[in-house]
Chains A and B, each alone.
Chain A
């Protein structure tokens, strides 16, 4: 494009965006005349304008980052030029080391009277400097006599030339206590030990008459001194000096600052009377303890906004939080349900993983425990004494709180030593009931880092990895990657109701970078490489990038096989994950041998009555079912259900899942009589054990709706699925993966019912949410796109259908690979569309390609393969290539006969075979096939997807043709008339 052309394009674009969207297309075409390339340029510009998801960085972000860099440049640049740098009083700024609510902290050097490194904190504007310094001076004496290894000394206060107060403190090279605990994966015990030191330090200050007033993790830094974690309390005296209460104006200006402090504030600090004593610090300590144990403070930061500041203060004064163990249980429940959905998202009946033993074996970290749903153990550890102690520190009425910081610390020591604690349970139980009754929805919160943080931290940990030598350290890094970061970033977590999925997928960037750096790094440490590849591969799998996942998982398995042998637990895990991946991709022929081997080894090593063996058998059974090996599948499922019932109990989630998957198997065979009671049982157990509105219960309910749908019982299916959707919208929100999945399914239900309008509306809504929440290229978004294409195809709007199919296909081929099941299905849909449009050449080429892949990847007797053969046969019939049609439909029909599946496609293949015989004037052979085929389809009419329902009428027409050709006009007329009947 040249400048002149751009002016042209721009002018038309400007007109177009001004006018009514309905007439926009017309206007643009008119203005462009017959200049095709101009039209294309304008349209592409308009399309960019309309897309919600912009690749442009935000101006605000860029601008503020520029400012940040400029500062860094100015500070660092001056110093390195050998100049004096920036001075604040007698302190030379070396570099910025942090910024918090109150201001910016610098590493500075004091030159006179002594030379030393200090931390210098410059307070942001809005304070009267003189008053601040005056208040500080009044406490200077007291601060000076504080002398405790866990308290950072405050040396000085002053005011900058611009009149802003600053404080000079001991330089502490540490990180906030909460971050320290998480990054070191400290156990509950280690966390409590660290916290006790903090309590003792605060006690020391209290004895000198100093109240901190602003205890929060960012003021409790942990440094490692001689390999020992040493907490340091910083900022003593600052809160007092800065004044009793922030004015409204400063509050609005520094809202974030206030909020950062707010959730650690005691009820009496939140009160307008503002009567504070040392017990206010005890309360804040309680909040910190709560956060260290559960991952979050009792009151969430994010629920606070400037608008509800007063409301927030009220809550601090009045509302009791759930006990730590209850909080963990609540958040883990939400977390666990999120874990299951990647399975559901990728394919409805793929097995859910709940291998608790595996999680428990892998580490002691609290973070891991609560993040990875080994909730039972953590909940158990917190329940009782730790709950009581924390809740006693958090008493609203300070008379009932620990009266001193040391009282709290001592009670924790008693807990560690197994002595009876001072805190008791009585009031707790009472308050829990009160709380849970009042705040059910508010409780569904869980801890998570942002994806951005993940990306950054992954990179940092890779740096650490590079620096480390010992294999063990590398293992630790991998554990960190796996437990704290990638687990957070996976699709599971992204779909969590409280952590909005990130369509930009910074995770992916981080992963790609990590993956690129493994190669050749670990020649001498194959097991480290294997375990890192395993982690990276599994994460790729979780975020739906299967091709990448396969590369790493294969390599991990290979390395482990060679180093550890087949029977090692790690090797088995690699096998299992790889098999799962193949299964997810629909590559059943590759998944099966792995799964068979896995079951064999586990049976031999662990025995059949073992949860892991049963799990492997369950996966194999699903695989058999997918490949129409129904007898084997059924037999295996029954063993699994029996075994799990005995081993784990009727109500265990795995038993429930096995039963449900058996039901799905029957449903695939068309044996609804067997499927329905199993589903009903699963639903009944789920409702009883988990509750009516539990995400799992809703999934099961949705399964029941599918059984109805398959039988064409739309009157029962639709209200059930609508109910599921309504509940999910309420409980999980509309952006949740489960909810989106249901929306998608309900839309397909509408389409089958012939309610194209409703289908279109719902698909569109789903699509727009998915585009926003999951991004344009997410596998689920693409499924919806294809679904919407189906609506258009049914409506005869072939152009729109084609553009949707082509777009989805392009993205699927690129991101998921051509051989992935979804991609193949889209190809089939497109091929069918070409057939309808009369583009026979294109249709045939595409069908042949799909068929080749299906035969190779899923096998001959598989439903998808057979369906393709049917479609291709129909295509040949359209072109009067009867011999080719006969060959195909004969094979397909025989295969259906063999598996005795009662699905409509079987009768379709029968009818097609009849039609190809009739075309070759073998009328007598054709007649029974055509009649039986039509009859079978007619009976199952309701179960034929709407997009394929015209095939029924095609079957009827071929009967008409048969009789016409055969010279039986009477019969031909009869069948002709049937078509006219409503």
Chain B
């Protein structure tokens, strides 16, 4: 039997190859990690929202780093998976909304107001960003990873430096050119 970490790596690779099934298997793993962290996922509220959401991922990691056995090889691995899963979840959600389709059954009733409010804003942005990121991955895989971690796992410069094992200066530099590049791509896309 393979170690749980291998399994995650496998799933992650499949996810990168576009296997949606992998996402649905990864989500509970990520989610459980977060949930176990003192049920901290309940603490959201509007104003302090983002801060707490970011804190959540970190708490989740801290916990697993604190000796709890998990399927993660290391810190970087966990974040990579988390960011990628989150990206997938967001993009899927955006695509669904974009095409006007909704999930059946219960899902339809889930808090339509909130869904519409949040989704209306950046549905297209998310899809565009996702596509642009794919193109960036071909030019510079490391930058693409950086952006993914920044956008979807919410890491800041210091954290990125630590996870990607380079200096904060390098992160800042790479982030700036990546952002400018994406900016250009998205503007182009929108003007079409």
Contacts and interface: CB of A to CB of B under 8 A. Distances in A.
Contacts of A141: none
A214 B105 CA distance: 36
A17 B180 CA distance: 11
A754 interface: no
B113 A55 contact: no
A257 interface: yes
Contact of B152 (A6, A63, A96, A97): A63
A99 B50 contact: no
Nearest to A97: B111
Interface centre among A45, A48, A70 (most CB of B within 10 A): A70
A71 B41 contact: yes
Contacts of A80: 105-107
Contact of A49 (B53, B113, B180): B180
Interface stretch (B7-15, B70-78, B115-123): B115-123
Nearest to B39: A162
Contact of A45 (B48, B121, B181): B181
Contacts of B128: 55
B154 A59 contact: yes
B101 interface: no
Contacts of A59: 150-151, 154
Interface string B14-58: 000000000010011011001100111111111111100110110
Contacts of A63: 50, 53-54, 86, 151-154
B1 interface: no
A156 B125 CA distance: 44
A459 B186 contact: no
A805 B115 CA distance: 42
Given A95-B110, A256-B47, A48 B42 contact: no
B31 A54 contact: no
Interface centre among B45, B87, B109, B125 (most CB of A within 10 A): B45
A122 B35 CA distance: 14
A49 B150 CA distance: 18
B183 A55 contact: yes
Nearest to A1: B139
Nearest to A63: B154
B112 interface: yes
Given A48-B181, A70-B30, A73-B89, A99 B106 contact: no
A452 B177 contact: no
B182 interface: yes
A64 B53 contact: yes
Nearest to B174: A10
A456 B97 CA distance: 13
Interface residues of A, number: 74
Contacts of A60: 50, 54, 154
Interface stretch (A100-108, A358-366, A971-979): A100-108
Contacts of A104: 42, 44-45
Given A6-B139, A456-B116, A460-B112, A257 B50 contact: no
Interface in A99-127: 99-101, 103-104, 122, 124-125
A69 B110 contact: no
Nearest to A55: B186
Contacts, number: 198
Contacts of B90: 62, 65-66, 69
Given A56-B129, A56-B183, A124 B121 contact: no
Interface in A42-60: 44-49, 51, 54-57, 59-60
A750 B87 CA distance: 52
Contact of B38 (A17, A96, A162): A162
A124 B42 contact: yes
A76 interface: yes
Nearest to B107: A76
B177 to A, nearest CB: 5
A61 interface: yes
B93 interface: yes
A452 B140 contact: no
B40 to A, nearest CB: 8
B24 A77 contact: yes
A198 to B, nearest CB: 23
A45 B111 contact: no
B27 A73 contact: yes
Given A66-B89, A74-B27, A80-B106, A95 B111 contact: yes
B39 A67 contact: no
A69 B39 CA distance: 16
A600 interface: no
B30 A3 contact: no
Given A69-B90, A456-B116, A10 B35 contact: no
B122 A57 contact: yes
Given A46-B180, A71-B41, A100-B45, A77 B187 contact: no
Contact of A68 (B43, B118, B121, B190): B118
A100 B48 CA distance: 12
A55 B42 contact: no
Given A95-B110, A162-B39, A256-B46, A2 B139 contact: yes
21 contacts: A14-B173, A49-B176, A49-B177, A61-B50, A63-B86, A63-B151, A64-B53, A65-B122, A68-B53, A70-B31, A73-B27, A77-B28, A78-B28, A79-B106, A96-B111, A97-B111, A100-B45, A124-B43, A125-B43, A460-B116, A506-B120
Closest 6 CB pairs of A and B: A256-B47, A162-B39, A63-B154, A66-B86, A49-B180, A48-B183
Given A55-B183, A254-B48, A256-B48, 9 more contacts: A6-B181, A49-B180, A63-B151, A65-B122, A70-B30, A76-B106, A103-B42, A104-B44, A452-B120
